[in-house]
Amino acid sequence: MIDLTRIERSTLSTEPYEWAFIGGLFAPQDAAALIESYPRDCFKTVKGYDQEKGYEYEARSLVPMGGDAASHVAGLSPAWRRLADDLLSPAYRAALTRLTGRDLTALLMEVNVFHYGPGSWLGPHIDLKEKVVTHVFYFNERWDETDGGCLNVLRSSDMSETVMSVAPIVGNSVVLVRSENSWHAVSPVAGGCLQSRLSMTVTFYTPGAVSTMWPPGDQTPLHDYDATTAREVMRGGPTARWTKLYAKAASLLRARGAR
């Protein structure tokens, strides 16, 4: 399902650190199937502040840390099961190894999918030292960048020092090689946005690492994510159009009040 040649033919940028933008990872029919059946079950709300960054979003496990099969497989469509199988394949690891120059063969892999609803964000941060390489995929059919929700590659912890902003459009992806200056963030999703930002992170960890997303003994209750409104917006229904206009007007009024 993943077009591995797109990864193999890419090159890492070294400005301001090692990273790569890779687009066109899915054939149109596969992209459509992944969007239509994006997971809605077994999510938990993640929010807080860890002394470096603030964050708030919804997370679901797709492949557990070091696992060899998909999580909560009964809730996954055939398309998402195929995608999980691709991520677990030696060929995918080999493609990322060639791109990054890091041997990922023996590293632990964890895959999570996310809904960033209105107001969700992930502040500027550098990944934990245990994270060697992270590959972020996106699954929105369309996205208005004025609604936020973009991945920002940063020179520092200052959001104004953005090198590139990547919209969460299906087929887009970003590979991040962890370093002491690999700053990045997700800009806040606008409060009036009626679709959630759909993303997936594939992270390779050093041996012995423990999941921070799903720590041992985690008993956080899981719930379904209600994407009814999001689907209406994606399909451009009449309610979506009027609510979108209202949200834009409210945003302009807030901006005027902040002057």
pLDDT at residue 52 in the model: 64
Q: Is the dihedral of CA 245, 147, 138, 207 positive or negative?
A: negative
Nearest to 91 by CA among 204, 168, 2: 2
Domains of the chain by residue range: 4-225
pLDDT at residue 58 in the model: 96
pLDDT at residue 1 in the model: 96
For residues 233-245, average pLDDT: 38
Counting Cα atoms < 13 Å in the Cβ hemisphere of 78 gives 3
For residues 165-178, average pLDDT: 98
What average pLDDT does the chain have? 89
pLDDT at residue 253 in the model: 41
pLDDT at residue 259 in the model: 38
Distance (Å) of CA 149 to CA 198, 211, 215: 9, 24, 26
Task: Quick: pLDDT tens for 20-55.
Answer: 999 999 999 999 999 999 999 999 999 887 656 778
The 8-class DSSP code of residue 119 comes to T
pLDDT at residue 248 in the model: 44
Q: How far apart are CA 159 and CA 10, in angstroms?
A: 26
pLDDT at residue 55 in the model: 86
Question: Bigger pLDDT: 219 or 242?
Answer: 219
For residues 5-9, average pLDDT: 97
Q: How far apart are CA 71 and CA 34, in angstroms?
A: 16
CB 109 within 8 A of CB 71: no
Classify each residue of 220-235 as buried b or exposed e, where b means 16 or more C-beta atoms within 10 Å of its C-beta.
eeeeebebebbebbbe
Domain 4-225 has CATH 2.60.120.620: yes
- What is the value of pTM for the model shown? 0.86
For residues 13-24, average pLDDT: 97
For residues 103-126, average pLDDT: 95
